[in-house]
Structure 1
Amino acid sequence: MIGRQVTRQVKGKQMQDFLKLAGFTTSKYYKGGFERKMSRREAALILGVPQTSSKSRIREAYKRIMLLNHPDRGGSPYLAAKINEAKDYLENEK
């Protein structure tokens, strides 16, 4: 009840600042774009695996993500390309 009153009284930018000060985050997702050149860190973030993952774990994560983002099933071709690039990068570095 009190939380509702606070959110009604505090608007827009003030609310975002309040949440940052209070330690709340509005999203658990990575906020940022893609780098020009794929890095190991970025590839691991895309697939949702640790940077030191085995090839089998990388493949499992790849399959799971591609089932959800495949262009033939309404996913973005750009995101599918980034997912493929991330898998190739991590597998070829091992």
Structure 2
Amino acid sequence: FGLTVDNIWIPVALRTALIPLVVLAAKDVWFHNDLWDALFVGTLGFGNGYFGTLCIILCNGLVQPTEKAVCGMLTAFALNSGLVLGSLLGLYLHGVVQAP
């Protein structure tokens, strides 16, 4: 099992299945123990770090050596933008999930 440029999208897409699980755990719909919250959020956080870094490494391997500096800056910007948007989505979901 090796992750390459051609198949990195598969675990990244599968990781999005954790988002509904986090919401269900936060609302105590199926998962009534806080350990589930920690497990889902920890797995999502580890996946963000691992796959985000791996995407940056794989992306830098696709460009010419003279373009690596620009590619590194753009991929870092894209990763940080995704983290900000994910945080904003988390704030929005907190308002949606919050008990009345």
Query: TM range, normalised to the smaller chain?
Result: 0.3 to 0.5
The structure with the largest helix share of the pair is 2
Using CA pairs under 8 Å that are at least 6 residues apart, name the structure with larger relative contact order, 1 or 2.
Answer: 2
- Structure with higher Rg: it is 1
